[in-house]
Amino acid sequence: MDYRIIETKARVLADNDAAAARNRQTMRQSGAVLVNLMGSPGAGKTSTLKQLIARLGTKYRIGVMEADVDSDVDAKAIAATGTRVIQLHTAGLCHMDADMTARGLDAMGADGLDLIFLENIGNLVCPAEFEIGADLRLMLLSVPEGDDKPLKYPLMFQVSDVLLVNKIDTLPVFDFDFDALRNRVFALNPKMTVLPVSAKSGEGFDAVADLIAALLDERGATA
Amino acid sequence: MDYRIIETKARVLADNDAAAARNRQTMRQSGAVLVNLMGSPGAGKTSTLKQLIARLGTKYRIGVMEADVDSDVDAKAIAATGTRVIQLHTAGLCHMDADMTARGLDAMGADGLDLIFLENIGNLVCPAEFEIGADLRLMLLSVPEGDDKPLKYPLMFQVSDVLLVNKIDTLPVFDFDFDALRNRVFALNPKMTVLPVSAKSGEGFDAVADLIAALLDERGATA
């Protein structure tokens, strides 16, 4: 609705796509897999990372980039697991772009890592528009957010490869129709993998870890 | 971290502040009160509006502007209450700015209304930066999102006048420390009014309605 902003955005997005392509090349050369973890504030992104680190950290060398507008709460939580982690501050911006991601990879030191997670800013709008060059776009939706989110934030569901439906243990206390959610998701993105999980209990995370391990093995085979 | 984006943002924000000042003047002339309702996706913004309409709609003439990236789910829900409502689409943008708000007020027809709600895009980052010229900035945080959100999205807590802590009925199933939340909020914004509510059961909404009615009476007295 504001022409000036949208024009600016188009140029920014074109620059971003070029930077994302460079990141993809960097990843291919290093043999590492880059996962872009996205979801609303409080959807459970950091707890999800802890569940995945517990399952994949003994076999693979993992690095985590924690992106936040401010604070280092999440980086502290990940550092406590003994995983290599850096905190990126976006200075008010609502997403990580590909160029910031490249700087993050440089700062963390991606060499020698097999698997790198970017925990994006908690937001269902902006991160969907800024491709970072990830091998896997992992989206988190938590049950308390509601089953109507694909109707309201369609792009995020269109650009993601895997949807984790988190806090599945709270289904009894919310009006959440899992079948309605699936139908809405598949209408937007027929290829989406939808997996129910609980980052609190760990339920469902073996399947997520298997999926990521398969991607790593595939990358290892072609590297 | 990306200089070009931030430079653009500074100019956009300056333009926005000027438009917000115009909106404030429009509101003062019309005698209506404008409320900017902000919160994460799924925090319960639309359900909150329904609770407030049920309490204030018999005494005051209410209008609602539903802002979404896409879809008209929320406008339908509000229209079902018999309230005047329009749906605004931001075409991918993660917030409503003051100019879009002015167009929304024009399109809806603000004349003859006492109380106008803007339901902003579900997002804790961008809407905090774009002042729309509201008389009341009403923020919603839901219990499932976690008590650490002030640490991660400080600006939203700094710019808001009232914080509704929603889904308070789900406290038993989440690790949510209400006192820790309060301390974090007051450290950022000592003047914040913090009210626990449940948009599902209606608990706590009488106090919220009283607070808004007081603002309306004050405006009526000076109009």
Rounded distance, CA B139 to CA B63, Å? 19
Return the CATH number at A62. Answer: 3.40.50.300
Q: Is residue B18 included in any domain, yes or no? A: yes
Neighbours of A196 (CB within 10 A): 17
Domain assignment of residue B2, yes or no: no
Task: Tell me which amino acid residue B92 is.
Answer: G
**In Å, how far is B218's CA from the nearest CA of chain A?**
33
Query: What pLDDT, in 10s, does the model give residues B79-112?
Result: 999 999 999 888 778 888 898 899 899 888 888 9
Q: In whole angstroms, give the CA distance from residue B95 to residue B148.
A: 22
Domain holding A75, by residue range, is: 3-222
Separation of alpha carbons A116 and A54, rounded Å: 14
Query: What average pLDDT does this structure show over B167-188?
Result: 96
Q: Is B7 within a domain?
A: no
Show residues of chain B in contact with A16, CB under 8 Å: none
> Is A122–B124 a contact, with Cβ atoms under 8 angstroms apart?
yes
What pLDDT was estimated at residue B10? Answer: 64
- Where chain A has pLDDT below 50, the residues are 1-8, 221-223
Kindly list the residues from chain B whose CB atom is less than 8 angstroms away from the CB atom of residue A40.
40-42, 122, 145
CA distance A151 to chain B (A): 6
B203 falls within a domain: yes
pLDDT value at B14 more than 90: no
pLDDT tier, B220 (very low <50, low <70, confident <90, very high otherwise): confident
Does B4 fall in a domain?
A: no
pLDDT score of B137 more than 80: yes
In terms of C-beta density within 10 A (0-12 exposed, 13-18 middle, 19 or more buried), how is residue B208 classed? buried
Alpha helix segments (H runs only) across A31-97: 45-56, 73-79
Asked if the structure places residue B28 within a domain, the reply is yes
Domain count for chain B: 1
CA of residue A182 relative to chain centroid, distance = 19
Chain A residues touching B103 at Cβ < 8 A: 1
**Whole-number pLDDT of residue A7:** 44
What percent of chain B has a predicted confidence (pLDDT) above 70?
94
pLDDT value at position A10? 64
For residue B74, pLDDT beyond 50: yes
Mean local confidence (pLDDT), B150-169? 97
Q: For residue B188, tell me if it sits in a domain.
A: yes
Would B222 be classed as within a structural domain? no
* pTM summary value: 0.84
